[in-house]
Structure 1
Amino acid sequence: MKDYDISSFFEFLGYGSGDHTYDCPDLRSLSVYCRGRRDQLEKLLEPTPFELADDRFVVSIADFGNNSTTTYYDAAIILSVKYGEVVGGNYYYEWEDKHTTVAAGRELWGYPKHFALIALDEEDNGVSGRVTLEGETMFEVEVRFDEAVTGEAWKGFSVYPHLQVRAVPQVNGPGFDSFDIISRNTAKDFELKEVRRGTAIVKLGNEIVAGDQQLEILETLGAEFTIGDFHATRENGTPTIVASLA
């Protein structure tokens, strides 16, 4: 058998190790804050070890076009959850537009990424975005900037730290080789440059369901469009394991 360094397999996979670092200057991010039906949000979380922490959730799109490694768009629906005493944001639905970043996010850190086409269009008076795949719309958002929107409606809500499940199924059995709850908080290194708020319209597609019901938005609270310097550092961009269940 040849002398073999297993770390070289990352080159074959097309992404770095779990402690790799990257930066994205002038990251554009859109977050639309919504209020949903508590029973539906709890239904979504039934297959997970998390409990619902808030009936508010976020619909988001981020443009990593300036990323120091692979460039990509990211879109998500993020729920507020708790595990024990830890409260954070769970990326429940998530899409990206590069196959390598989809694989890396799922396999390294447990983000439930799927491939989709993503757009984030900026105008003088607003922002619009959409996520689609093979003619199916995952969601669409339309935001109009309005200085009267203060962010008070989502005060106290935070998607950080991210709380995700990184689960590795058994290759020949019914269970999991590992099942870890991980926490990751890149907000500690984010440098905000600009923020604009406004009103928003969100349309969720037929793919976004809780059980056999389409996920409902009872109220759209408002939107926040930010520009800032993103950093995934070894200190905060590398996840920590909160608990291991397998």
Structure 2
Amino acid sequence: MRRAGSSGFPRSNSVCAVPARYSLQPKSLDAHGIMDNKFHMDEFMQSFFHSSSTSPKGPKAAMTRIPLHDANNMPLQAPLIPDPFVPYECPGNRSLHAICQGDPAILGQYLENTPFTLAGDRFLVYVSDFTNCRKAPFMDAGIVIPVRFGDREGGYFLFEYEDNDAAIAAGRDLWGYPKKFGTIELIERTGGAMASVVRHGVPLITIDCTFDGTQAEPLKTTPHLNIHIQPAPDGKILNKRVIARDTSPDFRMTSCRWGSAAVSLGALATDPLSPLGPVRVLAANYVIGDFFATEQNGWGKTIANLVTNGIPVEGA
């Protein structure tokens, strides 16, 4: 990676061994044309657990090594999230942002069960292309509203969608992003760009932008202020905290085109986006640049504990 000296993937610390000369591939077809997958199990098991007397270099020369990992997530033998996940980068990251104006009463309802207060009547609808990220390529989309938490201002993700389970798990487990799976597109065309998010066959977000120079004052959506929840085995909340994360200082923008846009929002019972509509779009921009999640800014920081070991924090 350009700004990271490590690959970021787990190191192997133990192995299982499978004799290389034994194959589990089908060996033949029987009289009915069905594959015969039988092999001599006794011989295989003996070779698996005992030394090979035929190998001049000893048993390891005939072994296929299967790496196991000591990662920070499951499954231990093949972790879903690359560990460590940071640092990572995405050269040529593309994003389409729509700056929208909403009803403060509706926006405030989404915050009633959070420690945040609304910081204005505008919100952001966006789709972003991280498919050039080698560690976990993904598409990303969501709705972010500016909020206040004490003396801090930042962006709270009401909804977020991605299309790679590793990226979804990393965002949820590490930093509290409310990521769910969605099918996401971002297409640049002559004079504009369009984007869409579909979940369970239902269109949830569409953005159609024309690059005509229309501009609006940018929103303050960083640092991201996330509510990170760890459920307990009995179904209650084990830990609940506010995490701040801000990778924006390391982003290197190469181009930005402004324009007018139309946004439509759909809904599922589990994804109530439509109360934010009909959407009034003030302006949109299409940004291309190099994204970096560095050791300095790529990790999140706990700024408040709300529940610790199942016990609500007094005054939180």
Answering whether residue 272 of structure 2 is matched by residue 206 of structure 1, we say: no
1:217 deviation in Å?
Answer: 4.2
CA distance in 1, matches of 2:250, 2:257: 20
CA distance in 2, matches of 1:7, 1:141: 39
1:157-203 Cα offsets, whole Å, 9 max, x none, are 211100001111222253x2211111111000000100000000001
| TM-score (norm. length: structure 1) | 0.90
For structure 2, the 5+ residue unaligned runs are: 1-13, 15-67, 308-316
1:102 aligned partner: 168
Larger radius of gyration: 2
In terms of fraction of residues, the more strand-rich structure is 1
2:82 aligned partner: 16
1:160-199 correspondence runs (5 A): 160-172=222-234, 174=236, 176-199=237-260
Counterpart amino acid of residue 127 in structure 1: A
Q: Give the number of the structure with larger relative contact order, counting CA–CA contacts within 8 Å between residues 6 or more apart.
A: 1
1:113 aligned partner: 179
CA distance in 2, matches of 1:154, 1:27: 22
1:29 deviation in Å?
Answer: 0.6
1:214 deviation in Å?
Answer: 2.3
Contact 1:29 1:225 in 2 (8 A): yes
1:6 deviation in Å?
Answer: 5.1
2:138 to 69, 72, 75: 72
1:18 deviation in Å?
Answer: 6.4
| Distance change >3 Å, CA 26–CA 72, structure 1 → 2 | same
2:103 aligned partner: 37
1:127-142 correspondence runs (5 A): 127-142=193-208
1:209 deviation in Å?
Answer: 3.2
Count the aligned residue pairs.
237
1:245 aligned partner: 306
For structure 1, the 5+ residue unaligned runs are: none
Which runs of structure 1 show a deviation greater than 6 angstroms over 4 or more consecutive aligned residues?
none
Counterpart amino acid of residue 30 in structure 1: L
